[in-house]
Structure 1
Amino acid sequence: MTELKIEVTIDGTPVTQAELAKVQESRIKHVLNEMKTLGAAIAESHTEINWLSYSDAKQLLLTTKAKYADLAEMKALYQSPLASSDRFWKDVVAKSNGTADLQEGQVMMHVEGIMMPQLQKVMGAELGNDFAAIINPEHFYSVGNTVTGQHIIETFGCFGEPTEMTLYPEKGDFKPTTPDPSYPIQMGGYVALASDDDDLGRGWRAYHQIRPTANGFDAILAAYLPSATPTEIINGHKWHLAVEFSEMVKYAVANG
């Protein structure tokens, strides 16, 4: 089998896995410090957290999140931030144009060393909290799968606070962009806030396009957010996607 290679491009600029690791380290420590401030059982002080190595900080975050794996416990810890986020997104929705004029955050990915069916097997499985936390430090809760839907808590775009929501597979033929005909696999979904669980979606869309290759696959990974969403979230979510899918590929290879 070909040696694993993951090439990521954001806004036309190649991004290395080392650069993505630095983004992860920053967000890991941000989450750890916030969880501690909110009252999570973390023995290390804020200063000690900031001095941790990337690997030690990641393990501490995984261990800490495991203590709050129950939805009620995580929601109790994040009660105020979740309420703030819910209000924020409802305000964004009120100022937006529904599913029109969605803002796109796109990442290009080229992967060698793993075939698409192997990755699809991981993505189609039950995606629990442990897996979600491994692939992105700003995943706080996840139950479900990409086929029937997922109840999730995560932070959009390395910005603001976590949001509680449900991610559903796309219904009907709505597409937030014109598909690239050279990518035969399309994966679409929409997000609803958990507080109102709007079945039609308020504009949050995920739309990924995949093209299998001889040694792996190419992917166009994209999130589409309502028109009034701050630009910082659009740009930040490109890095969120790049981290998430890079780590998902590594996880699939390691557990294949």
Structure 2
Amino acid sequence: MTAHAIDTYIDGQLVAPSAVQSWEARRAQAVLKKLTARVGALGVAELLPGVDLSALDTTDPRAVRDVLVTLKSNLGHAGLYAILKRELALSDRIARIAVTASRGGSTHCGIRLVAADCSASEFGAWFDDLTATDAETDMIAACPDHYLLRGLPDGRQEVVETTGGSPTPTRFLVDYTTGRNASIPTNPDYPVQIAGQAVLDDGLVVGGVRHQFRDVNGAMEALLTVEFPRLFPSRMITEHRWHLATEFGNWIDAFRQQRNQR
């Protein structure tokens, strides 16, 4: 591993950074196309003043990321709710059906990252702080499929995102006080744990997360795992591994940059 690198393992196999970047670029273009089509030319001019989308270098992930963050931020929570209203209603119904049909069973989606120049405890604290301080820009910038991520006054996190290979975005809340109830096993070799249950507004549990971190030979090793109802489509589970690789890779980069600026 070279300095500042992030090695991503999917199905136990090391994947090239370019593969993760290609996934992010594809999803970024899809999300940008969706949002700009829905607000129209006049809306784009209002939300992205001075930005010429025809001149945007779509091969530059940072450039597209910045445009998406600006667009989502200027739309605001209410604007995003309005644009995604029908899709969120549909995904809510689908999630409820999947939970009922799964009869309490679950399936897991996981990857492993190894990040140089990174401390498990420091990164874990930084990540926790994203929700505690409601750092929305850092949260939504990490993945193009993040439409809205914010910390709520009760300590939970509201998430509106396209999960894996789902055709529609979904909305849920992550309650990090209930991580002990997640079905994802705890690995005692990983002392830093970030875990919680994903619930709908009425408290129905639709999934969970358990992200586990440790320091190994000067680098941080992360086991990143998401729990879904057992009968969720397999493609959705498979694609979500790339979502995890993208968001945590970008979060790790953001952590390192902010730490080095202190």
TM interval, short-chain normalised: 0.7 to 0.9
Report which of the two has the higher share of helix: 2
The farther-off stretch of 239-248 and 8-17 is 8-17
Q: Sort the Cα spacing of 1:207 and 1:48 in 2 relative to 1 into closer, same or farther, 3 A.
A: same
In the alignment, structure 2 segments of 5+ residues that lack a partner are: none
Q: C-alpha distance in 1, partners of 2:119/2:244?
A: 19
Aligned pair in 2 of structure 1 residues 16, 91: CA closer, same or farther (>3 Å)?
same
- Tell me which amino acid in the other structure corresponds to 1:240: H
8 Å contact 2:179–2:195 — kept in the other structure? no
In the alignment, what sits opposite 2:128?
Answer: 124
For 2:116, give the aligned amino acid.
E
DSSP 3-state at the match of 1:171: helix
- Would you say how many aligned residue pairs link Structure 1 and Structure 2? 245
What corresponds to 1:34 in structure 2? Answer: 34
Alignment of 1:54-203 (within 5 A): 54-55=60-61, 56-69=63-76, 71-98=77-104, 101-125=105-129, 126-144=133-151, 148-171=155-178, 173-194=180-201, 196=202, 198=203, 201-203=204-206
Q: CA deviation at 1:51?
A: 7.2
Distance 1:250 1:204 in 2: 27
Structure-2 change in CA distance of 1:83 and 1:48 (3 Å): farther
CA distance, structure 2, for counterparts of residue 31 and residue 60 of structure 1: 11
Q: After TM superposition, give the deviation of residue 230 of structure 1 in Å.
A: 0.6
For the aligned residue pairs, the C-alpha RMSD in angstroms reads 2.4
Could you say which residue in structure 1 is the equivalent of 2:210? 207
Off by >4 Å, runs of 4+ in structure 1: 47-51
Distance in structure 2 (CA, Å) of the matches to 1:205 and 1:49 = 40
In the TM superposition, residue 82 of structure 1 has moved relative to its aligned partner by 1.3
After TM superposition, give the deviation of residue 159 of structure 1 in Å: 2.0
2-structure distance, mates of 1:102, 1:165:
17
Does 2:229 match 1:229? no
SS at match of 1:95: helix
Alpha-carbon distance in structure 2 between the residues aligned to 1:216 and 1:184: 14
CA-CA distance at 1:215 after TM superposition? 1.3
The CA deviation string for residues 29-52 of structure 1, in whole angstroms up to 9 with x for no partner, is: 1111111232263359xx949973
What are the Cα deviations for residues 113-151 of structure 1, in whole angstroms up to 9, with x where unaligned? Answer: 111233123212224331122111111112118x92211
In 2 relative to 1, CA 75–130 (structure 1 residues): closer, same or farther, beyond 3 Å? same
Say if 1:50 and 1:232 are closer, same or farther in 2 by CA, change over 3 A: farther
**1:73/1:175 CA distance change after superposition, 3 Å:** closer
Please tell me the residue identity of whatever aligns with 2:25: E
Percent identical across equivalent pairs? 22
SS state at 1:124 partner: helix
* Counterpart AA for 1:182: D
2:5 pairs with 1:5: yes
Q: Aligned pair in 2 of structure 1 residues 106, 13: CA closer, same or farther (>3 Å)?
A: same
1:193 to partner: Cα distance = 1.8
CA distance in 2, matches of 1:247, 1:220: 16
